[in-house]
Structure 1
C-alpha cells in the first residue's frame, strides 16, 4: 500500500522501512533536500510496484515485519529481477557481517540509522550518480573484514568479463592488499606496467579503484585469504 508520494521529480525513490513513521521521516528528508520523488511502500507491494513503473532507487530496511535480516532477502530479489534498480540497505547496527551481507544481497550502498538525515540525502545522491556508498564506520568495518576473508579465484566463468592471465595475477595480488610496487616485485614487472594492467582490469570489470574491486569480487561470491603478514598494506582508496 502506498503511504506517501510527492510530485514528479527528476528521479524516483521507494522506501521499504521497518515502520511507516521512520519511513515517512526518510521520505520527507529526501523530498526536502534531493530532487526526487520519494514514497514509502509496504514490503509486500515492492516487486509489484517495480514491475509497473520506472524506479531509480529502492531503500530497504534490513529488518522487516520485526524479523531481523528479512530485508536482505528482499534486496536480493530486487537485484535479481530488476538489476537496473539501485538498492540502498538501511542497517540498525553496521557490523562487518551485516555490511558484507548487504553488498552480497545486491546493495549499492549501506546506511546506518545512527547517521544524520543530511548524510542519508548525500548517500542517495551519490548512489543516483553511480557511486558505491558506505559511511566511515561501515567502510572500516568492511575493510577490516576483508583482512580475514580468503584470496580470490578470479578465473572468469560463464559470462564474466575475460581477463588476461597477467591481469588475473595482478588483480589477485591487488585484492590481497599488495601495493603496485609489491606486485611489480612479485611478477618482475615495472610499477607502470602493473598500473596499466590494473586499469585495464578495472575497465573490463566496471570498477574504478581497489575498494570497488573488492566490492565487485565479494558481491559475486569470491572468497579471500589475508595477505601474508610481511606484505605491505595498500591504501585502497588512493592507489590505482
Structure 2
C-alpha cells in the first residue's frame, strides 16, 4: 500500500441486495475499490479466495449462516484480509462471536456514510474499530472466562487493558483515553487490539477444551 489509504480493496457481504448495493456504492464514492460482493458464507469464502480483499464489510445475518461463520471462512482463505462487522444493535452475542472468529472492527448499521468510510479506512490500516457496547461485551466475556474452572491456559487481560476497555465502555474515544492516561493514541489502540487477539486465542482454547471434553478429538 502507498500513502493513499483510501485505495483499499473491499468486499461487501450482506444478504439484502438493496443494502449491499448501497454500501458498495457509498464506499466506491469514498474512493475505495469494491472488488466483490457476496450474500452468504459460501459465496464470501469463494470470492475472498479469489480477490483477497484488504477489508471485508460483514453483515451478521446471512442467507446460509452467520457473520461470525463467514468471518472465520474468509480469514481461512484470505488470512491477510481484515473484517469489519456491520451489525444491527440487537445482535450483541453475534458480534462477540465475530470478534472471536477474527473480526477487528464493529460498527452499527445506523452509522453515517462518513463513519463507515472512516471505519473501513481504519480497519484497512490495521486499527481496531470498536464501540462502547463492544468494549463492555469483551469485558463481560473475560469475566465469564475467568470464572471458568481450569481456565489456566486462557490469557487474561492486563490491568492496563482492563482499564482502557472500561474507559471505552463509558464512551470515551481512544484520543480522550490517551490524554487521560498520558499514553499515545496508538498505544491505546494497540491495547484494544491485544484484547481482541486474546479473545480469539481464548476462543480457540475453549473450542479445543470442548472438543476434548466431548470426545470430539478421537
Q: CA RMSD in A?
A: 3.2
Kept in 1, the 8 Å contact 2:38–2:44? The answer is: yes
Deviation for aligned residue 1:174: 3.3
Partner of 2:95: 99
Structure 2 unaligned blocks of 5 or more: 1-5, 165-188, 207-218
Question: Residues 87-126 of structure 1: matches in 2 within 5 Å?
Answer: 87-93=83-89, 96-126=92-122
Kept in 2, the 8 Å contact 1:94–1:112? The answer is: no
- Which one has a larger percent helix, Structure 1 or Structure 2? 2
The two structures have a TM-score, normalised by structure 2, of: 0.65
Greater C-alpha radius of gyration: 1
Write out per-residue CA displacement over residues 46-79 of structure 1, whole angstroms, 9 at most, x where no aligned residue: 22222333321111211012x6x62211111111
Instruction: Determine helix, strand or coil for the equivalent of 1:150.
Output: helix
CA gap 1:172/1:26 in 2 versus in 1, 3 angstroms: closer
* 2:132 paired with 1:150: no
Write out per-residue CA displacement over residues 168-210 of structure 1, whole angstroms, 9 at most, x where no aligned residue: 9xx765388489xxxxxxxxxxxxxxxxxxxxxxxxxxx832x
How far apart are the structure 1 equivalents of 2:8 and 2:157? 37
* 2:164 paired with 1:174: no
How far apart are the structure 2 equivalents of 1:145 and 1:51? 31
Runs of 4+ in 1 over 6 A off after TM superposition: none
* 2:26 paired with 1:40: no
Equivalent of 1:17, from 14, 17, 24? 14
Question: Residues 54-133 of structure 1: matches in 2 within 5 Å?
Answer: 54-65=52-63, 70-93=66-89, 96-133=92-129
Partner of 2:202: 221
Write out per-residue CA displacement over residues 83-106 of structure 1, whole angstroms, 9 at most, x where no aligned residue: 111111221225542232110111
Partner of 2:190: 208
Structure 1 unaligned blocks of 5 or more: 1-8, 156-167, 180-206, 225-240
How far apart are the structure 2 equivalents of 1:178 and 1:41? 38
Partner of 1:231: none
Count of residue pairs the alignment pairs up: 172
How far apart are the structure 1 equivalents of 2:26 and 2:123? 16
CA gap 1:118/1:135 in 2 versus in 1, 3 angstroms: farther
